[in-house]
Structure 1
Amino acid sequence: MRLLALMLLLVSSLSFAQTPKQEDSQQVAANPKVEQLQQLNTEISSLLKEQNAAFKEGSSSADVIGLQILNKNDERRDILASLISEKDSDKKQLLKEVNHQVVLINQFSTLLDDNLKRDQEKLDDAKDADKLIALKKLAETRQYSTLILNEEWQNYQWLEKLDKPAPKAVKELTSKVEHRLEFISASLNFDSQALDLASKQLKSATESEKSALQMSQILAQRQVDNDTENLKQLIEIADKVGIDTAKYKKQLFEQTGNVTDDLLNSKVIWSIASGWTTDLKDWLFDNLPQMLFKVFVFVLIIFAFKALKNIVRKMVKRAVSSKNLKMSMLMQEFFISMSGKAVFAIGILIALSQVGLNLAPILTGFGVAGIIVGFALQDTLSNFAAGMMLLIYRPFDVGDLVEAGGITGKVSHMSLVNTTIKTFSNEMLMIPNSKIWGDIIKNVTHEKVRRVDMVFGIGYGDDIEKTERVLNEIVSEHPAVLRSPEPTIKLHTLNSSSVDFIVRPWVKTDDYWDVYWDITREVKMRFDQENISIPFPQQDVHLHMVEKALEAKDA
């Protein structure tokens, strides 16, 4: 509902809304819009009388009647605007109506200026509990005052169209709009700073202080919103009266961040760019020395912890390499690597805290991100868990020859996620730890001593004792064969095509293949010298009933 003061002012202006004389009515009755205008004047006059009576009686219906009057006056202004745009309208009658609006709007403006001062004083003197109500009333008064300024500008435009310009009044209106723009702009700056201060204080406030600070924050936010909306309306009026509003549009853009057509204006763009350049220079002048010092401290801490990381790695390496701990190479590398990374991570966090970065949100974010990544990388976590089990149970170590995950080769490197195996053909294969842990692991080189299992076959017509003697000589003469445990040389199997001997000498793990290849070569050469045959699979085929079948055919 509009202000009660406007309604009182309408009562005082009753003399301006009298019904036209009969002869005027007859002259213009041909135009329906004129008839509507006359009808509205009559209705407004009637409503003013009713409102005057309601004021005398102290009835609350006066407010409702006042709203009706203002709505009727808006209709009257719409009709006036339409008639003024028509060429064949009665300018004399229209000029009379426009002058009436000029006087009426000027009275509204004067009273609203007084109300603005009074509402501002009430807001300043109000208690915290009543400030929101007082602010709402002040915002309402400012809104109506801005609307009145727009209608006042429209009145002077009408007078110019009716060949009765009022340059002095237009100049006064322009000055008034400029003054209002400067005031609202300053108010917006002040209220924005108050809002920022309240927000900062609220972050570090105790529980007992939060209630009062929250009220201050809400009040400051409402003031900023009201100032922003009022500035937007004033800019529209200022553009109409020819005021340069570039700096105010720039302020509005910086406050709201809304991109509008006004930003395409070269003056606005230049104002924004100049403001940012000035702000950047001021910021660099105020903060550059401090920022350079913080960067120096950051770099110094990083270098210090990098050196500390190397020292810690050496200390951990010396500790885990102790024979008493009996740690595998994989576990040693794990502890050495993790110790260095942990120290460097702590150094980064300390360095970030020294440059003013709040670590609490970062650590919280890492926690939340860890949960999300955990769900997204379940297979990787499975590999991680398998890697931990491999480190704990140590089924193999770096340099061991293993058969794991269906791959045979030498362990080159292991992390918590995968294991790198180098095959005999010099291929590097990275196998996920979950695949290794979930399959059979065969460590060929885990023990220091291994048995070489070989089988040699001779023919059924060869000398058994001679063969045993030759095999014993070959095994006993090889320098890499161990005397203890004793080698095993026995006749093992009577196969379909051969008589098989097992030859099982014990050797050092490193000599396994050398012994295997040397003995295999020597057996072939000695068997040839001793005329001992090495049979190969063969099959004899015997044909029966051939002669009888031929005889039957001839007969």
Structure 2
Amino acid sequence: MNYINTLNAQIQSMVKGFVQNVPNLIISLLVLIVTWLLAKSAVRIADRLTKHTQMRENLKQLVETLVRMSIWVFGLLIAATISMPGLTPGSLFAGLGIGALAIGFAFQDIFENFLAGVLIMVRDRMRIGDTIECQSITGKVERITLRESHIRAPSNELTIVPNSVLFKNPVKITTDKPQRRFQIVVSVVSDHDLDLAAETIRKAVEGVPDIDMNHPVAVFAQEFKPSAVDFLVQWWAAARQKDEFTDRIIRQIKRRLDDAEIQIAGAQPTTIEMVKPPEATAQPVPREIERV
């Protein structure tokens, strides 16, 4: 019976303490609502302030995220102090330090991606809109968050990449400069005049619009093959050119080589075989005619 009385007393004490703490809980809830409104308003203000600046888009996102997080951390600390009167800011920060250490070991990958996202946003390279290549990932950067980046592939597929992958591995940014060099290999049958073939290829590339003529078109004999010679063709154009531009280059080279009667290696020349009519053979004379 003593155990039952003790349990009953404990339950009544807990209920009484909860009822007494209801006003504090209501105030804490109001603090959280005010925190949510302040965070929302602060993000809008930060967006308006950074909109008229030359700040990069990823830095704008970083500022908005840090403003939102700072307001929420401050609001949660106030709400926790109000809802638990015995909790002091010093003990709360001490508890947060121990808890952060435990959470850091448990969620190491999440914090690694978080820090990588901050560093990616701060550094000057890899902006939103750039085309990148990282390991087997190729595409356009659409969004950078504190944990992941959104890469849109040329086939319109979206790849969500953890920021730690982009931070720890080499990343090739093909649109870092407005102009870049492109190249293809053209194989020409070695029986032709190589100087004429190189000049024909050079004029073909120069005749395509949107070529950057500040950099001369380069045509180099690169490699001997059993019956052909490979020419390395290099030209400069806008870094954001698509595959259609290379298609125009290839078509123009093929057209000019055909006009110059220069055969591309692997292409069989068109020949017309003259088929001889069957020779007339003497037909045997029927025996009836022979008798007549």
- Whether 1:255 aligns to 2:9 is yes
**How many residues get paired?**
264
Aligned residue number for residue 105 of structure 2: 375
* Structure 1 residues 394 and 497: alpha-carbon distance in aligned structure 2, compared to 1, 3 A threshold: farther
Q: How does 1:51-450 map to 2 (within 5 A)?
A: 232=2, 251-255=5-9, 294=27, 297-298=30-31, 301-302=34-35, 304-314=37-47, 317-318=50-51, 322-323=53-54, 328-353=56-81, 358=87, 360=89, 361-450=91-180
Determine which of 239, 259, 262 is the counterpart of 1:532. 262
Aligned to 1:425, the other structure's residue is in SS state coil
Deviations 1:104-139 (A, max 9, x none): xxxxxxxxxxxxxxxxxxxxxxxxxxxxxxxxxxxx
Shift of 1:372: 0.4
TM-score (norm 2): 0.73
In the aligned structure 1, how far is the partner of 2:186 from the partner of 2:128? 35
Greater share of strand: 2
Determine which of 461, 479, 501 is the counterpart of 2:231. 501
Q: Tell me which amino acid in the other structure corresponds to 1:509.
A: A
Shift of 1:371: 0.5
Name stretches of at least 5 consecutive residues in structure 2 with no aligned partner: 269-292
In the aligned structure 2, how far is the partner of 1:535 from the partner of 1:300? 73
Q: Is the 8 A contact 2:189 2:263 kept in 1?
A: yes
CA RMSD of aligned residues (A): 3.6
In the aligned structure 1, how far is the partner of 2:223 from the partner of 2:25? 86
Structure with bigger RCO (C-alpha 8 Å, 6+ apart) = 2
Shift of 1:470: 2.7
In the aligned structure 2, how far is the partner of 1:517 from the partner of 1:417? 38
Q: Is the 8 A contact 1:414 1:420 kept in 2?
A: yes
Q: Is the 8 A contact 2:185 2:232 kept in 1?
A: yes
TM-score (norm 1): 0.41
Q: Tell me which amino acid in the other structure corresponds to 2:208.
A: H
Q: Report which of the two structures shows the higher radius of gyration computed on alpha carbons.
A: 1
* Percent identity of equivalent pairs: 21
Greater share of helix: 1
Q: Tell me which amino acid in the other structure corresponds to 2:61.
A: E
After TM superposition, the structure 1 stretch with the greater mean CA deviation from structure 2, 444-453 or 356-365, is 356-365
* Structure 1 residues 343 and 394: alpha-carbon distance in aligned structure 2, compared to 1, 3 A threshold: same
* Structure 1 residues 339 and 316: alpha-carbon distance in aligned structure 2, compared to 1, 3 A threshold: farther
Q: Is the 8 A contact 2:43 2:64 kept in 1?
A: no
Q: Tell me which amino acid in the other structure corresponds to 1:336.
A: E
Shift of 1:537: 9.8
Aligned to 2:180, the other structure's residue is in SS state strand
Shift of 1:373: 1.2
In the aligned structure 2, how far is the partner of 1:256 from the partner of 1:468? 96
Shift of 1:453: 1.0
Shift of 1:353: 4.5
In the aligned structure 2, how far is the partner of 1:359 from the partner of 1:483? 70
